[in-house]
Amino acid sequence: MADWYPAWGVIVPKTDVYIRSRPLSHVEVSVEKIRLLGELLHKKGIKLIGYDEICSDKYVIYGPLSILNDGKRYSIPFYFNIEKRFPEGKPIAFYNPEWGYEANLLDISSLYISEMKKSISMFGWDGFFFDSFSWIAEATSFGKNKDGKPITNFSPDKVMYNFLKKMQKQTGKNFAFIGNMGLHDGYPFPPISPELATYKEAANLLSGWCIEIPGKPLVKKSSIYPQTFLELVKTYKNLRGIYPKTNFFVVYNSGAVTGLMPEQIKTLWALAHGSGLGVYYNAPPYYTIFSLFYGNLLYSPDLVETDNINVNIEGEFIKLCKELTYRNNKDNFYIIHLINVKEDSICWDRSEIKERENLKMEITFKQPEQIKDIYYIDADGDEIGEIKKIGFKKVNNTIEFVIPKLYVWGIVLIVR
pLDDT averages per 10-residue partition of the chain, 416 residues? 69 81 72 91 93 94 84 76 90 90 96 95 94 94 95 95 96 92 74 84 92 69 76 87 85 56 76 81 67 83 88 80 89 91 78 83 91 92 83 94 91 94
223 contacts 78 by C-beta, under 8 angstroms:
yes
Closest CA to 8 of 131, 142, 183: 131
398 contacts 363 by C-beta, under 8 angstroms:
yes
Neighbours of 297 (CB within 10 A): 18
Closest CA to 229 of 340, 63, 392: 340
H helix count then E strand count, the chain: 11, 18
Q: How far apart are CA 231 and CA 189, in angstroms?
A: 9
119 contacts 12 by C-beta, under 8 angstroms:
yes
Q: Identify the pLDDT of residue 224.
A: 66
Q: Identify the pLDDT of residue 181.
A: 84
Chain-centre distance of CA 66, in angstroms?
28
3-state helix, strand, coil split of the chain in percent (to 5) is 30, 25, 40
Cis preceding-peptide flag for 13 (omega within 30 of 0): no
Sign of CA dihedral 374, 379, 381, 382: positive
Distances in whole angstroms, Cα of residue 38 to Cα of each of 6, 34, 44, 235 = 18, 6, 10, 35
Q: How far apart are CA 375 and CA 369, in angstroms?
A: 16
Neighbours of 223 (CB within 10 A): 12
DSSP string, 276-287: T-EEESS--HHH
- Is CATH 2.60.40.1180 what the domain over 309-415 is classified as, yes or no? yes
Sign of CA dihedral 258, 261, 266, 268: negative
Q: Identify the pLDDT of residue 4.
A: 62
Q: Identify the pLDDT of residue 297.
A: 85
Q: Identify the pLDDT of residue 36.
A: 93
Distances in whole angstroms, Cα of residue 188 to Cα of each of 53, 100, 233, 284, 404 = 28, 33, 12, 29, 37
In the chain, where the domains are located: 17-301, 309-415
Q: Identify the pLDDT of residue 55.
A: 94
Q: Identify the pLDDT of residue 329.
A: 84
Distances in whole angstroms, Cα of residue 356 to Cα of each of 143, 324, 328, 410 = 53, 19, 27, 11
CATH number of 17-301: 3.20.20.80
Q: How far apart are CA 179 and CA 181, in angstroms?
A: 6
- Buried/exposed 240-253: b ≥16 CB within 10 Å, e otherwise: bebbeebebbbbbe
Q: Identify the pLDDT of residue 253.
A: 58
Q: Identify the pLDDT of residue 72.
A: 67
Q: Identify the pLDDT of residue 386.
A: 85
Distances in whole angstroms, Cα of residue 196 to Cα of each of 193, 272, 325, 411 = 5, 24, 27, 35
Q: How far apart are CA 179 and CA 135, in angstroms?
A: 10
Neighbours of 346 (CB within 10 A): 16
